[in-house]
Chain A
Amino acid sequence: EPEVTQTPSHQVTQMGQEVILRCVPISNHLYFYWYRQILGQKVEFLVSFYNNEISEKSEIFDDQFSVERPDGSNFTLKIRSTKLEDSAMYFCASQGEVETQYFGPGTRLLVL
């Protein structure tokens, strides 16, 4: 069964460093999303991506964040200068023609 994959599974970084989180969505899906979940809290929407551009973003998704689909398969989230409060689980999700969004296993980011 096709699934969304994410790498790395865990990342530890120093405050101020750039990180790139990678996702490979399900191959025939058209809509892509990033969410985050701070430990013990609810899952929060960051950004949605369709037709090679951002379709919607939340107030969390400020200028420090960017997304890209560089090669037609990978979907990346870049955080330019990480802050302590960026520590969270980051989920990529993809959606095809039907309503359901399928989530990847997540990347656990720890900013020290």
Chain B
Amino acid sequence: AQKITQTQPGMFVQEKEAVTLDCTYDTSDPSYGLFWYKQPSSGEMIFLIYQGSYDQQNATEGRYSLNFQKARKSANLVISASQLGDSAMYFCAMREGYMRFGAGTRLTVKP
């Protein structure tokens, strides 16, 4: 069975600095998708970024980039130039049909 691990329950970052949120995964399927979602305190799940297992390049979406290291089975999210509005829970997920989510990392951006 696939498994998603987020080892950082909480992270702090200074406003305008970059932060990396860790995610490792385990699967025997050669084809899979990796996702990051943001969940602010209001509760909704906001899609941030997607990486396909066969994609050669790391995905980027504005200030978000995904550091995909397939051999190490890691898919870390990098947020550049952090803003106060980035404070939220961040979930890594893998899709082999349905989404399986990690436990999440609570990011707090300090002014």
**A-to-B contact residues, CB < 8 Å:** 33, 35, 41-45, 48, 55-56, 58, 89, 91, 93, 99-106, 108
Contacts and interface: CB of A to CB of B under 8 A. Distances in A.
Contact of A42 (B42, B43, B47, B101): B101
Given A43-B91, A56-B97, A101-B95, A108 B43 contact: yes
A95 to B, nearest CB: 9
B97 A48 contact: yes
Interface residues of B, number: 22
Interface of B: 33, 35, 37, 42-47, 50, 52, 91, 93, 95, 97-104
A58 B1 CA distance: 13
30 contacts: A33-B98, A33-B99, A35-B99, A41-B103, A42-B91, A42-B101, A42-B103, A42-B104, A43-B91, A43-B99, A43-B101, A44-B101, A45-B98, A45-B99, A45-B100, A56-B98, A91-B45, A93-B99, A99-B35, A100-B50, A101-B35, A101-B47, A101-B95, A101-B99, A103-B37, A103-B47, A104-B44, A105-B42, A105-B44, A108-B43
Contacts of B93: 43
- Grouping DSSP codes into helix (H, G, I), strand (E, B) and loop, the B interface class, with mixed when no group exceeds half, is strand
A106 B47 contact: no
A93 B46 CA distance: 11
Contact of A99 (B43, B50, B98, B101): B50
A55 B100 CA distance: 16
A99 B95 contact: yes
Given A58-B98, A89-B43, 17 more contacts: A41-B103, A42-B91, A42-B101, A42-B103, A43-B101, A45-B100, A48-B98, A93-B99, A99-B95, A100-B47, A101-B47, A103-B44, A103-B46, A104-B44, A105-B43, A106-B45, A108-B43
Contacts of A42: 91, 101-104
B39 to A, nearest CB: 8
